[in-house]
Protein backbone atom coordinates (compact mmCIF):
# COMPACT_ATOMS: atom_id res chain seq x y z
CA UNK A 1 0.00 0.00 0.00
CA UNK A 2 1.36 3.44 -0.87
CA UNK A 3 1.40 6.04 1.87
CA UNK A 4 -0.56 9.24 1.52
CA UNK A 5 0.70 12.46 3.08
CA UNK A 6 -2.31 14.36 4.44
CA UNK A 7 -1.85 18.14 4.46
CA UNK A 8 -4.34 20.46 6.11
CA UNK A 9 -3.76 24.17 5.62
CA UNK A 10 -5.28 26.57 8.12
CA UNK A 11 -5.71 29.92 6.42
CA UNK A 12 -8.17 32.77 6.11
CA UNK A 13 -7.11 33.00 2.42
CA UNK A 14 -7.65 29.54 0.91
CA UNK A 15 -7.89 31.15 -2.55
CA UNK A 16 -4.19 32.06 -2.39
CA UNK A 17 -3.28 28.37 -2.34
CA UNK A 18 -6.12 26.63 -4.08
CA UNK A 19 -4.93 27.30 -7.64
CA UNK A 20 -1.38 26.36 -6.79
CA UNK A 21 -2.37 23.00 -5.31
CA UNK A 22 -4.61 22.18 -8.29
CA UNK A 23 -1.83 22.47 -10.90
CA UNK A 24 1.18 20.52 -12.10
CA UNK A 25 2.98 18.23 -9.66
CA UNK A 26 0.73 18.98 -6.68
CA UNK A 27 -2.32 18.02 -8.74
CA UNK A 28 -0.51 14.89 -9.91
CA UNK A 29 0.38 13.95 -6.33
CA UNK A 30 -3.25 14.22 -5.27
CA UNK A 31 -4.54 12.35 -8.31
CA UNK A 32 -2.10 9.50 -7.62
CA UNK A 33 -3.27 9.34 -4.00
CA UNK A 34 0.20 10.28 -2.72
CA UNK A 35 -0.93 13.51 -1.07
CA UNK A 36 -4.25 14.98 0.04
CA UNK A 37 -4.82 18.71 0.46
CA UNK A 38 -7.53 20.36 2.52
CA UNK A 39 -8.24 23.89 3.75
CA UNK A 40 -9.66 24.98 7.05
CA UNK A 41 -10.73 28.59 7.46
CA UNK A 42 -10.56 29.94 11.02
CA UNK A 43 -13.50 32.24 10.14
CA UNK A 44 -15.68 29.13 10.16
CA UNK A 45 -14.87 28.77 13.86
CA UNK A 46 -15.89 32.27 14.94
CA UNK A 47 -19.06 32.91 16.91
CA UNK A 48 -19.70 36.63 16.23
CA UNK A 49 -21.67 38.08 13.35
CA UNK A 50 -18.56 39.71 11.83
CA UNK A 51 -16.61 36.42 11.89
CA UNK A 52 -13.71 38.19 13.61
CA UNK A 53 -10.35 36.41 13.55
CA UNK A 54 -8.09 39.25 14.78
CA UNK A 55 -7.96 41.83 17.55
CA UNK A 56 -5.79 44.67 18.88
CA UNK A 57 -2.67 43.67 20.83
CA UNK A 58 -2.77 43.90 24.62
CA UNK A 59 -0.26 46.53 25.67
CA UNK A 60 -0.82 48.56 22.51
CA UNK A 61 1.33 48.88 19.42
CA UNK A 62 0.77 48.61 15.69
CA UNK A 63 -1.11 45.92 13.81
CA UNK A 64 -3.54 43.23 14.76
CA UNK A 65 -3.05 39.81 16.33
CA UNK A 66 -4.85 36.62 15.34
CA UNK A 67 -7.24 35.68 18.13
CA UNK A 68 -6.56 32.33 19.80
CA UNK A 69 -10.07 30.81 19.88
CA UNK A 70 -10.89 30.41 16.15
CA UNK A 71 -7.32 29.40 15.29
CA UNK A 72 -7.23 26.84 18.10
CA UNK A 73 -10.60 25.38 17.15
CA UNK A 74 -9.55 25.20 13.48
CA UNK A 75 -6.42 23.25 14.43
CA UNK A 76 -8.31 20.96 16.81
CA UNK A 77 -10.87 20.15 14.11
CA UNK A 78 -8.21 18.29 12.11
CA UNK A 79 -5.59 17.34 14.70
CA UNK A 80 -4.71 13.64 15.02
CA UNK A 81 -2.20 11.84 17.26
CA UNK A 82 0.27 11.75 14.33
CA UNK A 83 -0.08 15.43 13.33
CA UNK A 84 2.82 17.84 12.94
CA UNK A 85 1.35 21.27 13.59
CA UNK A 86 3.59 23.81 11.87
CA UNK A 87 3.21 27.56 12.14
CA UNK A 88 4.59 29.45 9.12
CA UNK A 89 6.42 32.41 10.64
CA UNK A 90 9.62 34.41 10.12
CA UNK A 91 10.45 33.39 13.72
CA UNK A 92 10.59 29.69 12.80
CA UNK A 93 13.57 27.46 12.04
CA UNK A 94 14.93 28.26 8.58
CA UNK A 95 13.47 25.90 5.96
CA UNK A 96 15.88 23.84 3.87
CA UNK A 97 16.08 20.58 1.93
CA UNK A 98 16.92 18.62 5.09
CA UNK A 99 13.68 19.76 6.73
CA UNK A 100 11.75 18.93 3.54
CA UNK A 101 13.17 15.40 3.66
CA UNK A 102 12.27 15.15 7.35
CA UNK A 103 8.66 16.27 6.71
CA UNK A 104 8.07 13.91 3.77
CA UNK A 105 8.32 11.03 6.28
CA UNK A 106 5.37 12.37 8.29
CA UNK A 107 1.79 11.23 7.76
CA UNK A 108 -0.10 14.40 8.63
CA UNK A 109 1.01 18.02 8.31
CA UNK A 110 -1.10 20.91 9.56
CA UNK A 111 0.29 24.18 8.14
CA UNK A 112 -0.95 27.13 10.16
CA UNK A 113 -0.78 30.40 8.22
CA UNK A 114 -0.52 33.52 10.33
CA UNK A 115 -1.66 36.94 9.23
CA UNK A 116 -1.39 40.48 10.59
CA UNK A 117 1.32 40.95 13.24
CA UNK A 118 1.20 37.29 14.19
CA UNK A 119 -0.75 34.84 16.31
CA UNK A 120 -1.63 35.00 19.99
CA UNK A 121 1.31 33.51 21.90
CA UNK A 122 -0.92 30.92 23.60
CA UNK A 123 -1.38 29.17 20.25
CA UNK A 124 2.37 28.48 20.36
CA UNK A 125 2.07 26.97 23.81
CA UNK A 126 -1.12 24.98 23.23
CA UNK A 127 -1.18 23.79 19.67
CA UNK A 128 2.12 23.90 17.77
CA UNK A 129 4.76 21.24 17.33
CA UNK A 130 7.00 23.24 14.97
CA UNK A 131 7.58 26.71 13.51
CA UNK A 132 9.17 27.23 10.09
CA UNK A 133 10.43 30.31 8.22
CA UNK A 134 11.06 30.27 4.48
CA UNK A 135 13.57 33.12 4.69
CA UNK A 136 14.60 36.29 6.42
CA UNK A 137 11.90 38.55 5.04
CA UNK A 138 8.32 39.25 6.05
CA UNK A 139 5.38 38.20 3.87
CA UNK A 140 1.89 39.60 4.38
CA UNK A 141 0.75 36.17 5.55
CA UNK A 142 1.88 32.57 5.77
CA UNK A 143 -0.05 31.17 2.78
CA UNK A 144 2.79 31.64 0.29
CA UNK A 145 5.24 30.21 2.80
CA UNK A 146 2.99 27.15 3.19
CA UNK A 147 2.93 26.78 -0.61
CA UNK A 148 6.74 26.76 -0.70
CA UNK A 149 6.95 24.16 2.06
CA UNK A 150 4.27 21.94 0.52
CA UNK A 151 5.88 22.05 -2.92
CA UNK A 152 9.34 21.15 -1.58
CA UNK A 153 7.95 18.26 0.51
CA UNK A 154 5.39 16.78 -1.88
CA UNK A 155 7.77 16.58 -4.85
CA UNK A 156 9.98 14.31 -2.72
CA UNK A 157 7.21 11.74 -2.18
CA UNK A 158 8.05 8.58 -4.14
CA UNK A 159 6.07 8.54 -7.40
CA UNK A 160 5.22 12.25 -7.61
CA UNK A 161 7.92 13.12 -10.13
CA UNK A 162 7.78 11.08 -13.32
CA UNK A 163 10.05 8.09 -13.95
CA UNK A 164 13.63 9.20 -14.49
CA UNK A 165 13.03 12.50 -12.71
CA UNK A 166 13.69 11.18 -9.26
CA UNK A 167 17.43 11.72 -9.42
CA UNK A 168 17.24 13.79 -6.27
CA UNK A 169 20.71 12.66 -5.29
CA UNK A 170 22.22 15.02 -7.85
CA UNK A 171 19.91 17.88 -7.05
CA UNK A 172 21.05 21.08 -5.46
CA UNK A 173 20.91 20.90 -1.65
CA UNK A 174 20.45 17.12 -1.36
CA UNK A 175 24.20 16.99 -1.43
CA UNK A 176 25.49 20.37 -0.30
CA UNK A 177 26.55 21.30 -3.86
CA UNK A 178 24.83 23.43 -6.46
CA UNK A 179 24.00 21.68 -9.70
CA UNK A 180 26.32 21.62 -12.71
CA UNK A 181 25.25 23.59 -15.84
CA UNK A 182 22.59 21.92 -17.99
CA UNK A 183 22.28 22.03 -21.78
CA UNK A 184 19.80 20.65 -24.31
CA UNK A 185 19.44 20.99 -28.08
CA UNK A 186 20.38 22.86 -30.25
CA UNK A 187 24.19 22.31 -30.04
CA UNK A 188 24.73 26.00 -30.82
CA UNK A 189 22.46 28.90 -29.79
CA UNK A 190 23.19 32.53 -30.69
CA UNK A 191 26.88 31.75 -31.11
CA UNK A 192 27.18 29.80 -27.84
CA UNK A 193 28.15 26.14 -28.20
CA UNK A 194 27.37 23.28 -25.83
CA UNK A 195 30.64 22.13 -24.16
CA UNK A 196 32.27 19.53 -26.42
CA UNK A 197 32.55 16.94 -23.67
CA UNK A 198 28.76 16.63 -23.32
CA UNK A 199 28.55 15.53 -26.96
CA UNK A 200 31.44 13.06 -26.62
CA UNK A 201 29.44 10.07 -25.40
CA UNK A 202 32.20 9.44 -22.82
CA UNK A 203 30.08 8.97 -19.73
CA UNK A 204 32.94 8.75 -17.24
CA UNK A 205 34.42 12.00 -18.55
CA UNK A 206 30.99 13.66 -18.51
CA UNK A 207 30.43 12.60 -14.91
CA UNK A 208 33.82 14.03 -13.91
CA UNK A 209 33.19 17.31 -15.77
CA UNK A 210 29.83 17.70 -14.05
CA UNK A 211 31.32 17.06 -10.63
CA UNK A 212 34.04 19.67 -11.27
CA UNK A 213 31.50 22.18 -12.52
CA UNK A 214 29.27 21.62 -9.49
CA UNK A 215 32.16 22.24 -7.10
CA UNK A 216 33.33 25.29 -9.08
CA UNK A 217 29.84 26.76 -9.16
CA UNK A 218 29.35 26.16 -5.45
CA UNK A 219 32.72 27.81 -4.68
CA UNK A 220 31.77 30.89 -6.70
CA UNK A 221 28.14 31.29 -5.66
CA UNK A 222 27.64 29.61 -2.29
CA UNK A 223 30.98 28.95 -0.59
CA UNK A 224 29.07 28.61 2.71
CA UNK A 225 27.57 25.31 1.45
CA UNK A 226 30.98 23.67 1.21
CA UNK A 227 31.27 23.89 4.97
CA UNK A 228 28.15 21.71 5.49
CA UNK A 229 28.75 17.95 5.82
CA UNK A 230 26.70 15.76 3.43
CA UNK A 231 23.48 14.26 4.86
CA UNK A 232 23.90 10.83 6.46
CA UNK A 233 20.42 9.67 5.57
CA UNK A 234 20.01 9.55 1.79
CA UNK A 235 16.58 7.96 1.28
Judged by the rule CB under 6 A, the positions of this chain that interact with ligand ADE are 88-90, 114, 133-135, 137-139, 142, 145
| Least distance from ligand ADE to the Cβ atom of residue 144, Å | 8
| Least distance from ligand ADE to the Cβ atom of residue 149, Å | 8
Measured from the CB atom, is 132 or 177 closer to ligand ADE?
132
| Least distance from ligand ADE to the Cβ atom of residue 89, Å | 5
Measured from the CB atom, is 65 or 134 closer to ligand ADE?
134
| Least distance from ligand ADE to the Cβ atom of residue 34, Å | 25
Measured from the CB atom, is 83 or 133 closer to ligand ADE?
133
Tell me the residue nearest to ligand ADE as measured from the CB: 145
Measured from the CB atom, is 49 or 138 closer to ligand ADE?
138
SS3 letters for 51-95?
A: CCCEECCCCCCCCCEECHHHHHHHHHCCCCCCEEEEEEEEEEEEC
CA distance 65 to 220: 43
**CB–CB of 183/194 below 8 Å?**
yes
Amino acid sequence: MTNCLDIDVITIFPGMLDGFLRESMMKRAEQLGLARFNFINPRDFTTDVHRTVDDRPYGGGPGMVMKPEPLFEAIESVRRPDSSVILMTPQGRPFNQGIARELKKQTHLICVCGHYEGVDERIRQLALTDEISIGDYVLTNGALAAAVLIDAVVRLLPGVLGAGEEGTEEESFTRPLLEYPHYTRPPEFKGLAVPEILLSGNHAAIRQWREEQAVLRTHRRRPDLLEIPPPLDTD
